Amino acid sequence: MKRVITYGTFDLLHYGHINLLRRAKALGDYLIVALSTDEFVKLQKHKECYFSYTERKSLLEAMRYVDLVIPEENWDQKKEDCQQYHIDVFVMGDDWEGQFDYLRDQGVEVVYLPRTPEISTSRIKKDLHE
């Protein structure tokens, strides 16, 4: 079984998120999503989520592409997660290009997928405030 992992906040779930998760799942047999906890988002990402961790987790678990949702609690857990969950492929959006190449030293394939350019959570929040 080929295991894939990706990370993110996944607030205000939209079709760009779904495209990313669909393409990530296509790279393997089992997709794990490390979902940023509320504390991590607030204290380390310096953002606010509209939906709580529990609500965002429920949305992701309802998607057919997602097999398991785990908490992302800090920036440095990726190496440990890859070991613990026997990850074969690490996937992130291409705006993170090069940031996680160090995982290749563990034998993990690192893939940066193109984002859906016309949609983002930031854009949705901005448009709602206008």
Catalytic (active site) residue 79: no
Active site residue 125: no
Summarised one tens digit per residue, pLDDT across range 62-112 is 999 999 999 999 999 999 999 999 999 999 999 999 999 999 999 999 999
How far is residue 44's CA from residue 123's CA, in Å, rounded to a whole number? 21
Tens of pLDDT, residue by residue over 11-69, are: 888 888 999 999 999 999 999 999 999 999 998 888 888 899 999 999 999 999 999 99
Catalytic residue among 2, 42, 45, 126: 45
> For the range 65-69, what are the long-range contacts, defined as Cβ-Cβ under 8 Å and sequence gap of 24 or more?
65/18, 65/21, 65/22, 65/24, 65/25, 65/31, 66/21, 66/25, 66/31, 66/33, 67/30, 67/31, 67/32, 68/30, 68/31, 68/32, 68/33, 69/32, 69/33, 69/34, 69/35
| More confident call, 14 vs 127 | 14
The DSSP 8-state label assigned to residue 28 in this structure reads S
**Of 2, 47, 57, 78, catalytic:** 47
